[in-house]
Amino acid sequence: MSRPAPLDRRGFLALAPAIAAGGLLAGCSRTEVGTGAPKEDAGLLAKLREQGFVRVGFAGEAPYGFQDGGELAGEAPTLHREIFGALGVRELRPTLTDFGSLIPGLLAGRFDVVSAGMSITPERCGKVIFSQPEFVSPTALMVRRGNPKGLSDFASCAREGAVVGVLAAAVEASYAKAAGVPDQAVKTLAKQQDGLDALLAGRIDAFALTGISLRWLARTNRGAAVEVGTPFVPEVGGVEQWSAGGAVFRPGARDLRDAFDRELAKITGDPGRYVGLIGRYGFTAKEAPPRSLRTADLCAGKGPA
C-alpha cells in the first residue's frame, strides 16, 4: 500500500511568516493541530445537509466498497447511502485510495467518512471513532483445491509451516502471528486478486481474509482451482476476534457518528431490510451484528457482552 502523501511544502512556507509574527496561525487555523482535520466536525452533519453530499473514502475491496461499472457499490456504500439519505444527505462523493491510506486520508480531511467495511480494532480506535458494527464476518482461509496441507485455521498454518497471505494493513496479519505463524511466513499482498493469484502460483499456501470476502473472490473467479474453508473466529491473547466492521469518522465528528448509529440500528435490527439492502453482495442475516456486540467492547479488545 502507498504511504500517505507528505505535507504541502508551499503551504507551510506561506504560513511561516505568520508563525514567526506571533502565533497568528494558532488563532486563525480552521484545522485541528496535529491532524489537519476540520475544526467544524462538531457541526458536520448540518454542513453535509446544506451542501447535499458527503465525501466517502473507499479502497476498492469487494464486496465491502468498490466500483461496479463506474458506480460506487458494495456493503458499506449501500448502507451508507441509505443512512445518509435518511439524515438528509442525498449524495455520496467517493475517493478511491489504498486501504492503508484510508485513516490518514480521513484525519487529513480528504473525506468525511470511510466506507470500506473496516474492521473495528483497539489500535484503530486509538486514532478514529467507529460506528456500531455494520456486520460480522469470521475469518476463513482460501487454499488450493483439495487443501493439500489440511489447513483449517491459523494454528494449523503454524503447525504445518504454511505460508499465509494477508492484505496490507488488514487485521489478519496480527491474527496469524498471534497463532504462532512466523513473521517470515506471513506475506503481504496489495489486493484480493493478488492473494488468489499467489495461491495458484504456489507462492503462498493459504490466503486469509473474512469468509465473506473470500466467497466473493471465489465467485468472481469461477473455475479457479481454489476452495474456501469453514469460517473460524481467531483468538488473540485468549480473546475472540469477531471481524466486525463499521463506518469510520474523525474523533471530532461524534454528533455525525451518533446520528449515523441511530439510523444504522434501524437496519441491523431488521433482518429483512438488512438482507434486502446488501444481500446481493453475499451478506445474510448471519452477518447482521448481534445487539450484544458493541463498538466500545471491540475497541477495548473484548467480545460480545
User: What are the DSSP calls for 249-261, one per residue?
Assistant: E-TT-HHHHHHHH
Same domain, 132 and 46: yes
User: Residue 20 pairs with which residues in a beta bridge?
Assistant: none
CB 136 within 8 A of CB 186: no
pLDDT of residue 84: 98
Q: What pLDDT digit, counting tens, does each position of 77-105 carry?
A: 999 999 999 999 999 999 999 999 999 99
Residue 258 lies in a domain: yes
Residue 157 lies in a domain: yes
Same domain, 187 and 110: no
Residue 234 lies in a domain: yes
Closest by CA position to 208, among listed 152, 278, 254: 152
Max Cα distance, the chain (Å)? 71
Residue 52, domain CATH: 3.40.190.10
pLDDT of residue 243: 82
Residue 183 lies in a domain: yes
Q: What pLDDT digit, counting tens, does each position of 174-212 carry?
A: 999 999 999 999 999 999 999 999 999 999 999 999 899
pLDDT of residue 29: 37
Cα separation, 160 vs 233, whole angstroms:
19
pLDDT of residue 22: 36
pLDDT of residue 2: 31
Residue 43 lies in a domain: yes
- Retrieve residue 241's grid coordinates: 476476534
Same domain, 128 and 149: no
Which parts of the chain have pLDDT scores under 50? Answer: 1-36
Give the Cα-Cα-Cα angle 221, 223, 227 (nearest 5 degrees): 80
Residue 304 lies in a domain: no
pLDDT of residue 30: 44
Give the C-alpha distances (Å, rounded to integers) separating 58 from 4, 62, 96, 103, 151.
Answer: 15, 10, 5, 10, 31
Same domain, 120 and 259: yes
Tracing cell 502460483 back to the chain, one arrives at 201
Same domain, 112 and 159: no
pLDDT of residue 241: 84
What contacts 207, CB < 8 A, 6 or more positions away? 141, 142, 143, 164, 165, 166, 189, 195, 196, 198, 199, 214
Burial classification of residue 196, based on how many CB atoms lie within 10 Å of its CB (0-12 exposed, 13-18 middle, 19 or more buried):
buried
Same domain, 268 and 122: yes
pLDDT of residue 38: 55
Residue 268 lies in a domain: yes
Cα separation, 73 vs 92, whole angstroms:
11
Same domain, 109 and 225: no
How many domains is the chain built from?
2
**pTM score above 0.75:** no
Residue 3 lies in a domain: no
Same domain, 97 and 144: no
- Retrieve residue 53's grid coordinates: 453530499
What contacts 2, CB < 8 A, 6 or more positions away? 98, 100, 101
pLDDT of residue 39: 59
Same domain, 289 and 172: no
pLDDT of residue 24: 33
pLDDT of residue 274: 98
Same domain, 228 and 87: no
For residue 122, the enclosing domain spans 35-136+243-299
Cα separation, 41 vs 39, whole angstroms:
5
Cα separation, 260 vs 84, whole angstroms:
7
